[in-house]
Amino acid sequence: MASSATFSTLVLSSSFATQCNVANRHHQSCFLSSPPKIPIFSIPKPVSLKLTSLLSKTPTFFTIPKSSESDAAVVDVEPDNVEPEPEPEAAPEPEPEPASVVEASKEEPKREEIFAVVMIGGRQYIVFPGRYLYTQRLKGANVNDKIVLNKVLLVGTKTTTYIGKPVVTNAAVHAVVEEQGLNPKVVVFKYKKKKNYRRNIGHRQV
Amino acid sequence: LVDVEKNSLFASSFRGAHSRLTRTITQQRIRALVSAHQDRDMKKRDFCHLWITRINAIIRGVGVSYSYSRLIRNLYNKQLLLNHKILAQIIISNRNCLYMISNEIRK
């Protein structure tokens, strides 16, 4: 059931600004995570949800992030300051998801140089471009669906970080649902000693 | 697999008589399943403890009389939503980022 999706395509989107605006406006936590809980970040589940996270930020920074080594201490993006940060980079980011597989791609020219913290289904994940992620089931997410995650709590590059209060403005992560499935079975065994009480229940989280 | 075989297969990696004698196999199987059930919840607690300890250790190096509790209080005041897991992960992967966050919060 575990399908390890490979880093297949690099989606380079040039017009991240427009995408960002569109993505930001239209999608606002439209999907819910259904019951199945997905494992911790360290435990990959068979179902892989590829989330292609496109990290797009319309506000431009006063300095280009890559060249701002001196801005190591500079942090956060205030909603008031419109500082567009050009980060056109889209890398497929697989997200293993017992329920759905989403491939995440961030809009970044270079992979692995940016990361974001995204909240999906009440849980937070650190997301890199082009990496898989396993999350809970998203309602209404079929295979090969493009998902935009707007609840981005933190965006970080090597030199700068954008802290959300609570959400970073104009940041979106695009993801592609790769697969939907169930977790391996877990046996829930309830037992009380000397009271003749035993219940054997199997459970597969979505 | 017959049920008896399933039973003994479950306990096949147990030590000594616990994998050889059928009565003890059933007993140990029950205890193992119950432990697994409990520990699935304990796992969440354990990890939270671990993250808190890590965050505390790093935060105390930031400044005089700066501690985990103050960090969390500042987090709440500034309405940040990062949870402990993410904070601990940021600490070990990208220490710089965490310093930025804490500086930002302290203001």
Per-residue pLDDT of A95-121, as tens digits, reads: 444 556 565 665 545 566 788 888 888
Q: Does A177 touch chain B (CB under 8 A)?
A: no
- Residues on chain B touching A74 (C-beta within 8 angstroms): 100
Rounded to the nearest 10 degrees, the angle between the axes of helix B22-59 and helix B84-93 is 70
Question: How high is the pLDDT of residue A206?
Answer: 84
- Ordered by start, the domain boundaries in chain A are 114-179
φ/ψ of B15, rounded to 5, equals -100, 135
Per-residue pLDDT of chain B (107 residues; tens, 9 = 90+): 788 899 999 999 999 999 999 999 999 999 999 999 999 999 999 999 999 999 999 889 887 888 899 889 988 888 888 888 888 888 888 888 888 888 888 87
d(CA B11, CA B28): 8
Domain ranges of chain B: 1-106
Q: Give residue A67's pLDDT band: very low, low, confident or very high (50, 70, 90).
A: very low
Say how far apart CA B52 and CA B69 lie, in whole Å. Answer: 10
Contact B82 A153 (CB under 8 A): yes
ipTM of the complex as predicted: 0.79
**If you average pLDDT over residues A52-67, what whole number do you get?**
40
Q: Among candidates A115, A152, A131, which has minimal Cα distance to A28? A: A152
Q: Is the pTM above the cut of 0.90?
A: no
Decide if A76 touches B, using CB distance below 8 A.
Answer: yes
Task: Write down the pLDDT at residue B93.
Answer: 86
Q: What is the distance in angstroms between the Cα of A158 and the nearest Cα belonging to chain B?
A: 8
Name the β-bridge partners of B59.
Answer: none
Q: Report whether the peptide linkage leading into residue A166 is cis, meaning its omega lies within 30 degrees of zero.
A: yes
Chain B closest-CA separation from residue A128 CA (Å): 13
Looking at residue A17, its pLDDT comes to 34
Distance CA(B57)–CA(B51), nearest Å, equals 10
